[in-house]
Structure 1
Amino acid sequence: MLLTLTTTHRPATDLGHLLVKHPDRVQSFDLPAGAAHVFYPEADEARCTAALLVEVDPLKLGAGRGRRQATAPEGFTLGQYVNDRPYAASSLLSSALAKVFRSALRGESRDRAELAATAIPLTVRVPVLRCRGGADLAVRVFAPLGWTVTATPIPLDETYPEWGDSRYVDLTLTGTLRLADALNHLYVLLPVLDDAKHYWVAPDEVDKLLRAGSGWLADHPERGLITRRYLAHRRALAGTALARLAELRLADEPDADDSIDPTADDAGDPRRVPLAAQRREAVLAALRDSGASRVVDLGCGGGALLTALVADRRFTEVVGVDVSDRALGLAARRLRLDRLPERQRDRIHLRQSALTYRDDRLRGYDAAVLMEVVEHLDPPRLPALEDAVFGHARPGTVVVTTPNVEYNVRYEGLAPGRFRHADHRFEWTRAEFAAWVRRVAAAHGYTATVAGVGDADPELGAPTQIAVLTRDDRKEETTR
């Protein structure tokens, strides 16, 4: 199977630096099912083409069939040895890309770091690609990513055109993209179009998909199809991946504050403090009262709270956690990390992590904040968040804020029954929030207080609810 990658960016031979493969040499790499070779059919200042040729050994591929998925969808006796795998692009080519161009996939280049971060003109050709769904599907999955797609069906037999087209296409992609983005698109979408992975799909494939799909998959109009096919139609894994992609879409918003602020319409009164600012100040006050110095902002989004935390020198370490690379990038720019003095920058850490999964890096902190986060999760995922935060990370103090749904009738223009934010999965009454806080505190060894933030209505309460949960053993230490 063959893939070629061409650029006309000048000097075009810089492609060799980005791929870390010298244009003057043929390089070969061992693969579990054969070998991969990288060479350059053309390489000059104006135009450079790198070719990846994968030779598949059917005997090696068939030998692993007991622990892999079937390599021949037709499923006949010799299917594990007699099939299209040595010739048609598939997950075998995707695996070869990951091994041979590993640093380029990550967007790293020791010699051309600036170029690696730059969109350059690229043309990708895969002469034979098994495409279950036809040429139209190739357009549907690649075109939203900025590619101009030419997918030409390959006839069953050119001598007898009346026999019709085969299941294969000759695929050409042209566009101006970062090389890392182009390679990650291919890494995910080649096996998606083939729809028959050559290996057993384990749970860690979800993480691989989200890493390779960072920055594009969450908003892709065909993300459901891509996810299901990439994960070999394993329903549980696809469900997990799609839920995490939903979290990514949420995290791409600069702030997690409510779409509607009850103080926003009172712009004529400069003394009126926006609810978002009141909420942040309430969280900061709770953290100061707890005596915390090392704080984690869980679901930090674009970094609104992080900025306030960094401005207060009593917080000696500030960690922003989000599932979205893009959100963390926004936070880094908001904090101006590239301009901060080294001593100040050393106080700040940004980490990618899903809040519904246990992460050892988040253990041992004085306090954690869930500011306008819980209501963006589907209710069935709340127990996973509770376990990850209160059961595993176990910070000394946890501060949680969430809307008070009872107050929603005070929002002008908000239809009855509608939530304050389009991505909210639920909004709790004061009684519901208090009951959740009491249950979580009792289950994980915390004591808790619940209060309101913002101008309170005598009957409906405050627009925002806030809970401060203190770990029982931490409370005893503070007392001593």
Structure 2
Amino acid sequence: MHLILKVRGAGAGAVSRLLAKNPHNVYDRTEKDARVRIVYITDTESETEVLIHAEPDPVDLVRGTPNGYDITQYINDREFVTSSLFCSYIRSALGTALNGKPKEDYLQWVEHSFDMELSFGPVASDLPDRVVEELFSSLGYTVTLERDELSYTFDLKKKSTVRRIRLSGQVTVQNALRQLFLLIPVLDNYKHYFISEDEIDKIKRYGEGWLETHPLKELIVRRTLRFSELIRKYELQEGALPVSVEQVGGVNQISDKGINESDKGIQNASAGELERSESPVRLNELRYRAITELVAALPAKRRIVDMGAGEGKLSARLAYISGVETILAVEPSGQSRLRAMERFAKLEDRSGVVAMPEPVIGSLFYFDEQMQNQDVMILCEVIEHIEAYRLNGIMDTIMSDYRPDVLLVTTPNKEYNEVYAMEQESFRHHDHRFEWTRAELVERCEKWAHKGNYAFEIRGIGEYAEGYGQPTQLVIFERRKENQL
């Protein structure tokens, strides 16, 4: 992870004084278990180029995490990408520049706008290119995005979410660093620390003089503060109007089942719904409601399998449905199962619970005889996380071997991505392998149902948009009886 700052023109030699780092010495320190180095590539009166590099210890990054027993904890990009971690590593080294308090002889250069080029990365961002560009072009930068060439033997993705970013423009050293310290975590949308009211102070400090007029201020605030309570406190302090869900809901923020369950499901209420309710209904909430209502109305629902149950949110809701006797919450992730177990433990003393969900280690890729002949099997936002070429085999196993009476499947409607103003080849979550249009889903379902001897019906979930349908597609497969052949 790195940042390169290059300045050309009169006064370029003053940059080292603003950074308070001697160009003739290599800055090499350990900050928060990361090695931070600052090296001057060029240092003349007309041109200065400085590299700021951070190299964290990959073991320290995962030490003490809940899944510390699992070797897969080391499979992540935190060691390499430029994120909030990078900003925390280099903050101490650049404190003088961020505060704008060099030695008195160089105070005149604090407010001087240099001809500057900033290069940093790689950045792993779920934001589409146009939004990344607008975040910086609105500040007067010329923006260039670069991607590495990726060679796969199959079509994994049209575009990598990992990009390197180069900015050029007229800007002070202090403002350039403050903007990056606020916007780099917004790009990555990952926080490695507890988000408290200190984040509000950081927004005010680093956003002074530019954030108030930024066209994507709402997006910046939401991705920085994350929690509604902090956002409300910020709005009250600023005297600002509430952040519009519609303004930020389209910038590729619609999370489905993925790494961070707490971020799942961006708010997707219409303007009218916002006026009627202080707490707009999340798309994920609408999915859960649709599924639980459908299951509750089924004549046979004693035995249920929730495949890819994650942290058990849906399984916990199914536990209240009258007539349900067993719920198998099947999930391959150890960390998610632990959270599900904690969630299920809280159900024990609650009234109305008719069946305690049972966390089960399992995957659609491995046959498990206890999944056979269940009344209901649910795949809520699961299939899009599987390579499309493997789905036919999985659906054949479900319909021919497991043979549930009812199979419920939800998956994103690709056409609706245009309503969210997403780029054509973008996915709603970085782990999605595909997203299908309504016609593509119908074509697949017809093949699966015919081969597996099922009838099916497709419904929509979420706000309807003319010409695009609804954001989520719900497929209801019902197994045909033998006399219906």
TM-score by length of 2: 0.46
TM-score by length of 1: 0.47
